[in-house]
Each structure stands twice: as structure tokens, then as C-alpha cells.
A and B are shown apart, each in its own frame.
Chain A
């Protein structure tokens, strides 16, 4: 009977308890079930497995005394040679042959011939070259016509005895055409940073340092009369009149062969020749190619060989996973000046991947991103940290309402906790009009490349800044470390790395090395490598490094996830 009493009491308790069920209970239970079901159905798999992000570079098992281990990317593990080239196969090579490294001429040949699939057959996808003039006019250039222009310019310069060609142009078709002409006709190209506010003396000093004897310059930016007197080594000058000013009468432009300097305009050279039947010199594997000189933003003059630049391109091409590779359906826009090596390497990679490339002369040092992307909808953009810092501060000022802060918190959580790009939900859509308008069609931008240039005056970005930028622009951001001694990037963050760790207010990490570069840290007076931590001065080695091995001039350390952090 005692047991029956216990059962009775239990029965009565349970019935009383659930007997209190009423409207509010139904409400709360309903909310609970809805929330649980929503969490389960809306959970998304992270873009990259968290364990892959937990160790991003491979350390060598042995290290020398006074140095740290050598770090490489997982795509070029220790024991394998670093990625040094494009595996260019010439017609007539067997399908299974290794292919040669290639040089800049092969990049242009790929643009002309179109994409080539794994079997070696042409896919017929040809890239396009676009010039953007403001928001109304976009010029789609004919690749065969550009081919012809390259041949004509190259022959003209070489015919007049030019050897060191300085290119003083904003981002434009003529810039790329002159660069390729120098590659095809064995001339040394010198990339001079284009800045319309530069004093004449600095232009003269840049020309003198690089020993230029030919200049291809934009009309209006190059005070020819002054320079003619102070720089006697100048032998040839080619004016480039930009599309927007063609309707103006440039009769005042001094031309002619009288006097020590041979002056002509691009249009003259290109129009006075037969329209078709002009071919570029064919594949010549044994030619000794001249180097390309470029000025780093700090003023340093660096000489890159074609092998350095090709290794830089190869590193960039292999750094993106297959789902995000640059391909024919993208539109690439460099918002940073092409005379800096990092945007140039990325532009050449885009050309090699047969992606349409748009060029905008607004681009330069830290232009406004919205202004530079007017008129087209780029999917991939290269920008400088100054441009992105401007975008960040403007957008943060606009989106400061408390309601948005909650939405932002949820979106940051989606990035960091779930490892996915935030989806556009009904809560975030009202704020879409406040986001920066990049391109004429919103939502197309998918990838932004930023680089921290060692030695140049630039604003480093923190991990929190990068995360906020991902939310504001809706694009993935790749943050890389670029140095004057390395063509392309030294290290680069992965596409799927959205993490913000505890010290999010300090400068962000720079990821793992690209597959054409390996680096190690040498002990300095203040920073030494021990068994627990690696610190020291960064030295880079590989086919993309000028001279094979070079010190980058900054100190760094390796973080827990094997990424590089500057000290």
C-alpha cells in the first residue's frame, strides 16, 4: 500500500504540474520549438574546415642555428620545388611534358589565343580588355588591334635605338601594351609611379636613377620642355593622348625629329601603318630577356627578371581554391596603380586566366573605391589599404544606428562562429542602401585583394577592420604582405579565413606564404627563435625573390596557427 501511495502522489504531482498548461505555456513552448527548428535548418557548414585554418603553413623539420624553421605553403611542401612557372606548353609539345616556366610574352600569347583546357585544346574563351571612362563610356578593345599596336610600338622604339623605356602612364591599355612590347622586342621596361602632383625634380631624379632613354608619357603630366633641358640622356618621347581628350586639338604638342629628342604620338605610330598582317615575334626559347625595373613606393629602384614576375603570377594563380579561381566569367579591376608590382602581378594573373580586365585611369594612390568602380561591376578588385580604410570609415559613420549594430553583431557572428559569409536576411536588407556602392550592379564584387607594402607609408588593417569590411562590401578579402624584393606577395591570407582572434585590435596576420616563396626568420638582437616561439627578421627565398634570397627589412613572428605576424 505504501508503494501505491507513492505512485498516487507522483501521479497527482505530475498531473497538477502539467494541468497548469495554458495559453502562455503554449506560447513559450511554441517559441522554443520554432527556435530550435530554425537553428537546425539554417545552420550552414563552414567554408573551410576549422582544422585547416588552425595550421596554415608548413615548418621545416630541421632549422639552422640562429634561424627559425623554413615556412612554406601546403601547396609546395618541403622536399618539392617551389612553384616557379606557368607550365606553358608550346604547340608540338607532348601533352604529358612538364611545360616551361614562361615569361611575359607567354602571358600576352595566352590573352590572344584564348583559354586552354587540361587537354591542351583551346576552349575559345577569350578575355577582354576594357577601358572605363567615367560612368557612361566603356570601351571594349579588340585584342587583335592591341596585338598590332604592341608590334608597331615595339618596332618603332627599337628602330629608333631605344633600350630603356620609362612608362609614365596611368592605368591604361597603353601601359600594358608598352610593357608587352618591351617583353617582345628585348627592351628594358621601367615602371615610373604616375602622380600628377609630382614636382619636376622628382620625375627627373627617377629617370636618372633608372637611366631611361625613352619615355612613354601621358600628355599633360610630363613637362617636356623643362625635362628636355635637365635630362640630356632622353632620346625618344612618345605622347599618349587619352581617349577623353582626343577631341581636343593637340597641335601644341611638340612633335618632330628635329633636335636631339625624337617626339611622336601613340596615335601617329599606330595609325600610319597597315591595318592587318602584323605579327609579333614568335616563340623564341633561347632569347635573353631584359629585366623590368620598378620603383617601390618608398623610392627604391628594384630590378625584376621575367622569372621573378612569372613565379609571382604562378604563386597567385595557385593560391585560390578551385571554386574561387579567376576565370572567364569574372571582371578584374585594379584600383591601385599598375606601376606597383603587386597589382601588376595580379593583373597579369587575371590576363593569363582569360578574365576580362578593366582599366580605369582614376586608379592611383588611394582613390575613392566608389568613384573608381563607376560604370562597371567588377567581381575582383585590387585596392590599397588607404582606399579600404576610407571605405570603412565612411560606411561606419553612415551605419551607426543601434538597430544596425544588432544586425552587424549577428553577421559578425556568422563570419567568425560559423565560418561563412553572412547571408542577406530580411533584417539586413533595409541597410543595404547604406552599404558602399561598388560597381553599377550591387552584389557582384566577390574578392578584394589588399596588400601591406613594406617600406611604404600605409595604414595597417586590423582583423576587426577586415571583418567589418567583409560585411560592408559582401566580398571576401585577401590581405597580403608585399615587399620590394619579391614579385607578387610574400604571404597571403586564405580566401576562407574569416577569423578574428582575441587581439583583434592589433594588426591582422598575413597568412601563409604563397607557393612560390618560402621564408624564415633570422635572429636579431631583440628577437630570437626558441623551441617555443619563432621571431626575427624576415628573409624570403624562392624564384619570385629578386636575387634568390633577400631580407625584407622587417621583424615578424609566427603565430599559433603558423601564420606570419609583423612585430
Chain B
């Protein structure tokens, strides 16, 4: 309390400033004025419109031959592709199943048509000779073809078609509608 009393007495003892003194440019006024101008500047400065990052570039639809398709099995950061009845699907979203280490990894980068029809993931469902013609699906009965159609529809709903698969030497053949 002593301190407060002393300070009050000290302030009261100060002489009152004479009215003719110019008071506009006091430090307090300058500080407040600059604060005001800064707020004006911030609110009237044009702000750029927000931009979204550009979407990922579209994948170019290409014609694959079996040797071309082989590298796309999920290794080396490549996406996972597999082919069903001539259509190449991008199944990278299902990497857990079709990628390396997954239960269906045999299908990655290969023509999976016969395997899906018969419901088997064995090695002998895949065409051995990559340079030869595509699997013509001989020896498959009606139930197997029915199962294949079901699989094809599921793939079309879930995954993106990124290309078509033709045999080596048939790249220039026109697409049959």
C-alpha cells in the first residue's frame, strides 16, 4: 500500500500539461494510428482464390501384349494389373489380394481368365507361353463361363479398365466392337 500511495503522490505532483502543446503526434497516437492503418491494409488487400491441387493425370489406355503386362505385378512400385477376357483392369486398390504376398498374386500381370472361371489360383491356370496366342478358354463348361461372367461384372464395377490385352503380333488388329 505504501508503494501505491507513493506512486499516486508522485503522479499528482506532476505539473498538468499546458493546452497549447501539440498532442497529436504522441507515441500512443502514432501506435494506434499505425495499428489502424495495418488493419485497413490487411482487410483490403486482395487475397488469391484458393486452388485445389490438380487431379492425378488420366491413365492412357494402351494395348498390352502378355510380355508388356508382366511387369505390372506390384513389384518395384508398379501398379497391379490383370487381364480378364481381353480387358486389362487396374487392381492396385486390391493390392492386399492381388499384389505381391497376397493370396491371388499369381494373377498379377497375367491373363487371369481361366483361373477366375475355374476358381483356382494354381500356376497351371495361367498361359505358359507369353509369346503365343491368348488362352481360348477351351474345355470350360457352362458353369465355369457363368462364374467368369460374374467375376467380369464385379471387376467392371470395382476396378478401372486401363487397356486391352492382345497376343504378340496382333497389336495392330482393330478392336472388335
Contact between B58 and A22 (Cβ–Cβ < 8 Å)? no
Contact between B35 and A32 (Cβ–Cβ < 8 Å)? yes
A532 to B54 Cα, complex, angstroms: 9
Contact between A50 and B50 (Cβ–Cβ < 8 Å)? yes
Is A198 interfacial (CB 8 A cutoff)?
Answer: no
Contacts of A560 in B (CB 8 A): 51, 54
A515 to B33 Cα, complex, angstroms: 54
A370 to B167 Cα, complex, angstroms: 69
Contact between B36 and A28 (Cβ–Cβ < 8 Å)? yes
- Shortest A462–chain B CB gap in Å is 17
Is A288 interfacial (CB 8 A cutoff)?
Answer: no
Within 8 A of B (CB), among A530-567: 531-532, 560-562
Segment at the B interface, from A62-70, A100-108, A450-458, A480-488: A62-70
Residue of B nearest to A532 (CB): B57
Contact between B49 and A499 (Cβ–Cβ < 8 Å)? yes
Contacts of A403 in B (CB 8 A): none
Contacts of B51 in A (CB 8 A): 54, 560-561
A255 to B72 Cα, complex, angstroms: 79
Contacts of A22 in B (CB 8 A): 23, 26
Contact between A32 and B26 (Cβ–Cβ < 8 Å)? no
Contact between A64 and B61 (Cβ–Cβ < 8 Å)? yes
A24 to B31 Cα, complex, angstroms: 12
Query: For this complex, into which size category does the number of interface residues on chain B fall?
Result: 20 to 34
Contact between A62 and B61 (Cβ–Cβ < 8 Å)? yes
Instruction: Convert A25-51 into 0s and 1s, putting 1 for each residue whose CB lies closer than 8 angstroms to a CB of B.
Output: 100110110011001000000000011
Is B32 interfacial (CB 8 A cutoff)?
Answer: yes
Contact between A531 and B57 (Cβ–Cβ < 8 Å)? yes
A20 to B25 Cα, complex, angstroms: 10
Instruction: Convert B42-58 into 0s and 1s, putting 1 for each residue whose CB lies closer than 8 angstroms to a CB of A.
Output: 01101101111011011
Is B9 interfacial (CB 8 A cutoff)?
Answer: no
Contacts of B58 in A (CB 8 A): 59-63, 68-69
Contact between A63 and B23 (Cβ–Cβ < 8 Å)? no
Is A18 interfacial (CB 8 A cutoff)?
Answer: yes
Instruction: Convert B17-42 into 0s and 1s, putting 1 for each residue whose CB lies closer than 8 angstroms to a CB of A.
Output: 00000011011110011011001100
Contacts of B57 in A (CB 8 A): 531-532
Residue of A nearest to B43 (CB): A39
Query: For this complex, into which size category does the number of interface residues on chain A fall?
Result: 35 or more
Known A28-B36, A32-B39; judge A65-B60 contact (CB<8 A).
yes
Contact between A61 and B160 (Cβ–Cβ < 8 Å)? yes
Which label, helix, strand, loop or mixed, suits the secondary structure of the B interface? mixed
Contact of A17 among B27, B33, B160 (CB under 8 A): B27
Contacts of A64 in B (CB 8 A): 60-61
Contact between B29 and A20 (Cβ–Cβ < 8 Å)? yes
Within 8 A of A (CB), among B120-177: 160-162
A531 to B23 Cα, complex, angstroms: 65
A305 to B29 Cα, complex, angstroms: 75
Contacts of A417 in B (CB 8 A): 46-47
How many Cβ-Cβ contacts under 8 Å join chain A to chain B? Answer: 86
Contacts of B49 in A (CB 8 A): 50, 53-54, 416, 499, 501
Is A15 interfacial (CB 8 A cutoff)?
Answer: yes
A417 to B43 Cα, complex, angstroms: 10
Contact of A55 among B40, B55, B62 (CB under 8 A): B55
Is A98 interfacial (CB 8 A cutoff)?
Answer: no
Is B5 interfacial (CB 8 A cutoff)?
Answer: no
A18 to B46 Cα, complex, angstroms: 35
Instruction: Convert A10-21 into 0s and 1s, putting 1 for each residue whose CB lies closer than 8 angstroms to a CB of B.
Output: 010001011011
Contact of A36 among B28, B32, B39 (CB under 8 A): B39
A125 to B9 Cα, complex, angstroms: 83
Residue of B nearest to A29 (CB): B32
Contacts of A501 in B (CB 8 A): 49
Contact of A61 among B23, B33, B50, B59 (CB under 8 A): B59
- Shortest B68–chain A CB gap in Å is 14
Contacts of A39 in B (CB 8 A): 43
Is A413 interfacial (CB 8 A cutoff)?
Answer: yes
Contacts of B24 in A (CB 8 A): 24
Contacts of B11 in A (CB 8 A): 15
- Shortest B156–chain A CB gap in Å is 10
Instruction: Convert A51-83 into 0s and 1s, putting 1 for each residue whose CB lies closer than 8 angstroms to a CB of B.
Output: 101110001111111001100000000000000
Contacts of B29 in A (CB 8 A): 20, 24-25, 28
Contact between A11 and B7 (Cβ–Cβ < 8 Å)? yes
A86 to B101 Cα, complex, angstroms: 51
A61 to B79 Cα, complex, angstroms: 15
- Shortest A466–chain B CB gap in Å is 16
Contacts of A35 in B (CB 8 A): 36, 39-40
A395 to B52 Cα, complex, angstroms: 36
Contact between A65 and B61 (Cβ–Cβ < 8 Å)? yes
Known A15-B11, A60-B58; judge A32-B32 contact (CB<8 A).
yes
Residue of A nearest to B162 (CB): A62
Contacts of B50 in A (CB 8 A): 50-51, 54
16 CB-based A-B contacts, threshold 8 Å: A11-B7, A17-B28, A28-B36, A35-B40, A36-B39, A54-B49, A59-B55, A60-B58, A61-B58, A61-B59, A62-B59, A62-B60, A65-B62, A413-B46, A560-B51, A560-B54
Which residues in A have some Cβ–Cβ distance to B below 8 Å? 11, 15, 17-18, 20-25, 28-29, 31-32, 35-36, 39, 50-51, 53-55, 59-65, 68-69, 413, 416-417, 499, 501, 531-532, 560-562
In order of increasing CB-CB distance, the 6 nearest A-B pairs are A531-B57, A69-B58, A63-B58, A20-B26, A54-B52, A28-B32
Query: A36-B39, A62-B160 provided; 10 other pairs, C-beta below 8 A?
Result: A15-B11, A22-B26, A53-B49, A55-B55, A62-B60, A62-B161, A63-B59, A64-B61, A501-B49, A560-B54
